[in-house]
Amino acid sequence: MSSFTDIVPSPKMASSSWVSTRALLTPAKTPTSTTLFLPRPACLILHSTPHPSLSLSSPKLFLSPLPASPPQKYVYPDPIPEFAEAETQKFKSELFKKLSKDKDTFGDDLDAVIEVCVEVFNNFLHKEYGGPGTLLVEPFTDMFVALKEKKLPGAPVAARASLLWAQNYVDHDWEVWNSNSP
């Protein structure tokens, strides 16, 4: 003769713990279960079984782990070369407008600063950018380092302006580009 106990979530313990709804009685009266607190990844089955070595009043506990499914990985699309080219041109134009307002910082090196930033940004768009969620900070730190290595003025200003522009436009431009594609 087998019976399963009723198991419901404890209101005090939210959904992470379970308690029996049966009142706790002494083993001499009826089979009982006790309050059990288990981590979420286990499935609890309380089962009273008649077995010669067990009295009917001692419930047998079976724990079986719930199968874990591997997390689904989102695969970002590959970079789109045509988008990378168009976005690089837009970036170059906008960065020139922004940085040319600060002639004191860049002086005669403005074109060289912009070329370094454009080269790094273009490489990133061609090799790594696959749409929203893939805009990284690394290309902008790479810009900063490249400008410093070439001893060009305004590395922090140029890298920051590039990053802010990218954060404001690249993901949106990518979505517009792909909504217009067949």
Of the given ranges (26-35, 95-104, 139-148, 167-176), which has the lowest mean pLDDT?
Answer: 26-35
Same-domain pairing of 93 and 176:
yes
SS3 call for 37: coil
Same-domain pairing of 43 and 98:
no
Q: 60 falls in which pLDDT band (50, 70, 90)? A: low
Q: Which of 40, 66, 92 is the last residue of a domain?
A: 66
Q: Could you tell me if residue 75 is inside a domain?
A: no
Q: Which of 33, 66, 99 is the last residue of a domain?
A: 66
With residue 161 as reference, give the H or E element that holds it. Answer: helix 155-180
Match 């008649």 to its residue by tokens.
50
Same-domain pairing of 41 and 85:
no
Same-domain pairing of 38 and 104:
no
Sheet holding 42-48, edge to edge: 3-4, 42-48, 60-65
- CA quadruple 134, 136, 140, 143: dihedral sign: negative
Same-domain pairing of 51 and 120:
no
Same-domain pairing of 54 and 113:
no
Same-domain pairing of 169 and 106:
yes
| Burial group, residue 159, by CB count within 10 angstroms (0-12, 13-18, 19+) | buried
Same-domain pairing of 16 and 85:
no
Total domains present in the chain: 2
Same-domain pairing of 87 and 174:
yes
Same-domain pairing of 57 and 114:
no
99 neighbors 157 (Cβ within 8 angstroms) = yes
Rounded to whole angstroms, how far apart are CA atoms 49 and 158?
75
pLDDT digits (tens, 9 = 90+) for 77-97: 889 999 999 999 999 999 999
Same-domain pairing of 175 and 85:
yes
State pTM to two decimals: 0.60
Q: Could you tell me if residue 154 is inside a domain?
A: yes
Q: Could you tell me if residue 145 is inside a domain?
A: yes
Q: Could you tell me if residue 13 is inside a domain?
A: yes
Rounded to whole angstroms, how far apart are CA atoms 69 and 35?
29
**Residues spanned by the domain of 138:** 81-180
pLDDT digits (tens, 9 = 90+) for 137-165: 999 999 999 999 999 999 999 999 999 99
Same-domain pairing of 48 and 130:
no
Q: 9 falls in which pLDDT band (50, 70, 90)? A: very low
Q: Could you tell me if residue 41 is inside a domain?
A: yes
